[in-house]
Amino acid sequence: MAAKKPASDQTMEKLISLCKRRGFIFQSSEIYGGLASCWDYGPLGVELKNNLHQLWWHEMTRRHENIVGIDAAILMRPEVWKASGHVDGFVDPLVDCKECKSRFREDQLPEDANGKCPSCGGELTEPRSFNLMFKTHMGPMEDTASEIYIRPETAQGIYVNYLNVQASARLQVPFGIAQVGKAFRNEIKPGNFIFRTCEFEQMEMQYFVKPGTDEEEMEAWKEKRMAYYKRLGIREDHLRLHEHGPGELAHYARSAWDVEYKFPFGWQEVEGIHNRTDFDIQRHIEHSGKKMEYIDSGRGERFVPYIIETSSGLNRSLLVFLCDAYREDEIDGEQRVLLAFHPKVAPIKAAILPLVKKDGIPDIARSLFEELSENWNCFYDQAGAIGRRYRRMDEVGTPYCITIDYETKDDQAVTIRDRDTLEQQRIPLSGVKAWLAERL
Ligand code: ATP
């Protein structure tokens, strides 16, 4: 029985409603009418986000002996953002419709709009520059001397620290520094649920290479990053690489590619893979007056490394995993909604469901729950008909439901039901942990 994808125009609405109903994502400050584009992650949302964070971290650090992590402060000296180009260059061109007052990014107007308002065809204002960085004040005085920016990207915390990390971890080029953390952008047009928000988390890895090897390293990272999404179950035909043309290329980049996903609202960027050359380090050399050269004493070389960056949004990739997992099908004439997450991604790995509430059955189930929850996030549920309990687990993407019945007392075995195939198999109670470990 193949699960169907629902009509795409309704998918987002259904997904947003499921996310709220089942505790993935809530509107921020909802009781006060909500704060536009800000979202809170509920019990299952935070598990899902933690899983994606950890999977990325494992993939990008533990699996490479030459990549290490860092957790830099969100607040940095204002000079950092001057050097990086964000103070002068991190601006979007804004246009307003003189008729209906809608606001757009000039660079995102549809081609066929011909310089007119895409909503009503009205005349647009001249573009105005709008800096995307949030500002705040540090210290008790709200004067310009205390003005400080809230970081719009995590990358700069890596660049300014690269020699501290390299020396302390005794790394040699090529090496990488990875970081996951919050970034803030005063986006003009946030939207599409958690796709574009003013507060979000980035998962970035900056790979420091010898100039001349940069394009080769870039090719390797493009392949690795695409393989990562596929390995975690994202459908191949919903993924593609898009190369930035001359008009799109950022001032710092020699070449740039986006991993794009086919969202219900169209193909959009999930991750950028950029060859940033030595632009950032050179700028910090210029502005800080520090040398910032990498010295390879073994080879007697010194140079400013080039940087290949892989930069993705944690919240945006969570939306990818949600959209890709959403399915509707029918079981025995009844409609079913399921999230077909890869088991490694699923917020709950296994549900432990005693079939009856008496005769010692819940005791066996509880002790299995205790054993499994040492390793994984599991869920114990003894309330209601078994069919309804299965449906609740399908809807939140739990890959395995384990039932304990009267026979368990005699044969010391349990039944495991697979969320996607609905197949059930009987396995020994003592082997459940190893069975799950193989799949998780
Ligand atoms: P966009 O063109 O969508 O504004 P960008 O090219 O400015 O994105 P980068 O600066 O390269 O994005 O950031 C890297 C990643 O961070 C993006 O691929 C995306 O996953 C995530 N990201 C960027 N801006 C936002 C945002 N406002 N909300 C959520 N995620 C974001």
Q: pLDDT of 47-89, one tens digit each? A: 999 999 999 999 999 999 999 999 999 999 999 999 999 998 8
Structure token digits, residue 63: 């699996």
Q: Tens digit of pLDDT for each residue in 181-197? A: 999 999 888 889 999 99
313 CA distance to ligand 1 middle (Å) = 6
The pick from 104, 158, 311, 318 for probing ligand 1's pocket by mutation, whose C-beta has the most ligand atoms within 8 angstroms, reads: 311
Q: Give nearest CA residue, ligand 1 atom 21.
A: 313
**Residue 203: which H helix or E strand, with range?**
strand 199-209
- pLDDT above 70: residue 339: yes
- Buried b / exposed e over 409-425, threshold 16 CB at 10 Å, is eeeebbbbbebeeeeee
| Cβ neighbour number for residue 92 with a 10 Å cutoff | 20
Cα–Cα distance measured from residue 420 to residue 426, given in angstroms and rounded to the nearest whole number: 17
pLDDT of residue 139: 87
List the one residue out of 413, 401, 405, 402 whose CA is nearest residue 359. Answer: 405
CATH number of 8-75+152-322: 3.30.930.10
Between 9 and 405, name the one with better pLDDT: 405
By the 8 A CB rule, do 168 and 161 touch?
no
- Classify each residue of 14-23 as buried b or exposed e, where b means 16 or more C-beta atoms within 10 Å of its C-beta: ebbebbeebb
Which residue has the least CA distance to atom 3 on ligand 1?
A: 269
Residue closest to 251 by CA, chosen among 282, 221, 225, 226: 282
First vs last C-alpha separation in the chain: 24
Residue from 37, 196, 314 whose mutation best tests the ligand 1 pocket (most atoms within 8 A of CB): 196
C-beta of 272 in contact with ligand 1 (< 6 A): yes
Q: Which atom of ligand 1 is nearest to the CA of 185?
A: 27
Q: Where in the chain is the domain with CATH 3.30.930.10?
A: 8-75+152-322
Average pLDDT over residues 246-250: 81
Q: Which residue has the tokens 């690269």?
A: 162
**Cβ(311) to ligand 1 under 6 A?**
yes
Tell me how far the alpha carbon of residue 200 lies from the centroid of ligand 1, in angstroms.
9
Token code pair at residue 217: 């390293």
| Helical pair 361-372 and 432-439, crossing angle rounded to 10 deg | 40
Q: What is the CATH number of domain 348-439?
A: 3.40.50.800
Beta strands in 282-429, from DSSP E residues, in sequence order:
294-296, 301-303, 306-313, 326-331, 334-339, 350-354, 378-380, 400-404, 413-418, 424-428
Q: How far is the CA of 90 from the centre of ligand 1 (A)?
A: 13
> For atom 25 of ligand 1, which residue has the closest CA?
196
Answer whether 343 contacts ligand 1 (Cβ < 6 A): no
The predicted structure's pLDDT at residue 1: 45
Ligand 1 lined by 316 (C-beta under 6 Å): yes
Q: Where in the chain is the domain with CATH 3.40.50.800?
A: 348-439
Q: What is the pLDDT of residue 92?
A: 78
Radius of gyration of the chain (CA): 25
Question: Tokens at residue 60, please?
Answer: 């990008």
**pTM of the model as a whole:** 0.92
Backbone phi, psi, residue 245, to 5° = -80, 175
Nearest 10 degrees: Cα torsion 107, 112, 114, 120: -100
Instruction: Answer whether 45 contacts ligand 1 (Cβ < 6 A).
Output: no
Non-local CB neighbours of 59 within 8 Å, separated by 6+ positions: 228
CB distance 260 to ligand 1 below 6 Å: no
Ligand 1, atom 8: nearest CA belongs to which residue? 269
Confidence of residue 41 (pLDDT cuts 50, 70, 90): very high
User: CB-based burial of residue 305 (10 Å sphere; 0-12 exposed, 13-18 middle, 19+ buried)?
Assistant: buried
How does strand 239-243 pair with strand 199-209? unpaired
Would you state the pLDDT for residue 8?
57
The Cα–Cα gap between 65 and 150 comes to 32
